[in-house]
Amino acid sequence: MGKLAQTSVKYLITAEFDADGTVEKPDVIGALFGQSEGLLGNELDLRELQRTGRIGRIDVDVTTVKGKSKGKITIPSSLDSTETALIAATIETIERVGPCDAKLRCNSIEDIRAVKRKQIIDRSKILLRELMKDVPEISTLTEELKESVRSADITSYKGNPAGPDVEGGESIIVCEGRADVLVLLKHGIKNAIAIGGTSVPPAIAQLTKSKETTAFLDGDRGGDLILKELKQVGEIDFVARAPKGMEVEELTKKEIFKCLREKVPSEQAVDLSPIGKSVKPYKGTKSSTPSVTTVRIISSPQKKSISSDSRRPSRERTTKIDTRAPRKSFEDRPAPASRKSELTAAQKKVYKEQLNELIGTHAVSIYDKNNNFAGRVPVKNIEAALKQVAEPLTVIIDAEVDRDLCRIVESSGADNIVAMKVKDKAGKVNIITQEDL
């Protein structure tokens, strides 16, 4: 008896039966062939159809409970839909299975091709979704292309990994390793050169003497050791450090440029506080033993003092605060007869440039009575910063002036506030707007 290949199945007939006695699988199959014989002619006879492969293997599942049997019949068909429906209706005419009365009913005719189509569609959705994940955006492709070009730009300067602008440029950035040079190249910085270890090569030491040099080092003890050696064998102008516990190669583009903006002159880097720690404002002490606290405010390397002959920013200024005689508060210090001071043309020029630079930074720049740039801090740290400057003169701020700000500035002994907007005034402090400059 022929067997229908599964690849040619179009429909699947599903039927159920109930028998009043105990029957077995051969009884059901015999009833299907015997009682349907001749009903639809020779062309649609089940035996002939199965012999020619147009009806597949008939499966029967029988369950007997308390002397009665019931089960499920499945018949695969490669006939067309009309002929398959005739076969399904024919098997419902069976009245007996073996020696028992029985009743058969067709539950469904399932279109196997429709099921396959659904499977195909569902699977194609999954495959397409996976395919789309692997398609990068244009921006990603562009960035990868730029990165590959930048990485290809890495050269060698006397055996040391370096960017293409190291030899011809006016300034260089000294890093610790090749990976640091690569990450700087990735973000468009082409004047970096790597030491390649803890020992500074003579070629790099000599190069630092002819170019403006910034040491960009990791935020760990290794960076401290390399910085000491660089100062001993070369000439370092500025120092930039990665955040504590991080390496330069781990930084993002934003973090790299932030670290380079916050570089400090090498003379000040000697006495830098441990990385990651900030100076807390003085809050007094309950101890009866007097003490002296040393605090620092670091000036930005890009800012100039008002003096025309000064080429570099003022060095780090260390102020000693005697806790036995803390600065008097705004309420109990005597107000001066007049805090207003006339600004020179040089002061106005520098203050105006500084105010324009501060726009959008929400920061404060401080100048002392010697017209030196003392440093820049966030607005929220203004009170602590002013306490660290021995003789503050002018506060330039990217914020709206109010009574609280006037109180803080006047308490510090400063004479002037330079700002864009004024909300409220208080005390004797001189308030200068952009129009006054």
∠ CA 71-74-76, nearest 5°, is 170
Number of residues written out for the chain:
437
Amino acid at 344: T
The phi and psi torsions of 56 (rounded to 5 degrees) equal: -90, -165
Domain ranges of the chain: 6-115, 143-269, 292-436
Angle at 105 between CA 15 and CA 102, to 5 degrees: 105
Q: Partners of 322 in the beta sheet?
A: 292
Per-residue pLDDT tens, the chain, 437 aa: give them.
Answer: 444 444 578 899 999 999 999 999 999 999 999 888 888 888 888 888 988 888 999 999 999 998 899 999 999 999 999 999 999 999 999 989 988 999 999 999 998 888 888 899 999 999 988 888 776 677 777 767 766 665 567 888 988 999 999 988 899 999 998 889 988 988 889 999 999 877 889 999 999 999 999 999 988 888 888 888 888 899 999 999 998 888 999 999 999 999 999 888 888 774 333 433 333 333 333 333 333 333 334 344 444 445 444 333 433 343 333 333 343 333 333 433 344 457 888 899 999 999 988 888 888 999 999 889 888 888 888 988 898 888 899 999 998 899 999 999 999 999 999 998 888 888 889 999 888 88
DSSP 8-state assignment for residue 379 = G
Nearby residues of 126 by Cβ (< 8 Å), 6 or more positions away: none
Model pLDDT for residues 245-291, shown as the tens digit of each residue: 889 999 999 999 999 998 888 887 743 334 333 333 333 333 333 33
Give the pair of three-digit tokens for residue 243: 């955040």
Burial of residue 186, with CB atoms counted within 10 A of its CB: 0-12 exposed, 13-18 middle, 19 or more buried:
middle
Hey, what CATH topology would domain 6-115 get?
A: Alpha-Beta Plaits (3.30.70)
CA-based torsion, 420, 422, 405, 340: positive or negative: positive
Backbone dihedral angles phi then psi of residue 59, each to the nearest 5 degrees: -105, 135
What's the pLDDT at 287? 33
Helix or strand holding residue 354 (H, E): helix 345-358
Name the CATH code of domain 143-269 (choices 2.40.30.10, 3.90.380.10, 3.40.1360.10, 3.40.50.720): 3.40.1360.10
* pLDDT value at residue 1: 42
Query: Which distant-in-sequence residues (6+ apart) come within 8 Å of 129 by Cβ?
Result: none
- Residue entry with tokens 């308490």: 411
Superfamily (CATH) of domain 292-436: AICAR transformylase, duplication domain (3.40.140.20)
Task: Return the residue matching tokens 């020029």.
Answer: 349
Whether the domain at 6-115 and the domain at 292-436 fall into the same CATH topology: no
Nearest to 341 by CA among 309, 367, 374, 375: 367
The label of the residue with tokens 């000599």 reads 206
Q: pTM higher than 0.85 for the full model?
A: no
- To 10 degrees, what angle do helices 178-186 and 138-152 make? 140
Contact 208, 236 (CB under 8 A): yes
- Longest Cα–Cα distance in the chain: 128
CA distance 260 to 234: 20
Q: Is 262 exposed, middle or buried (0-12, 13-18, 19+ CB in 10 A)?
A: middle
pLDDT for 4 equals 45
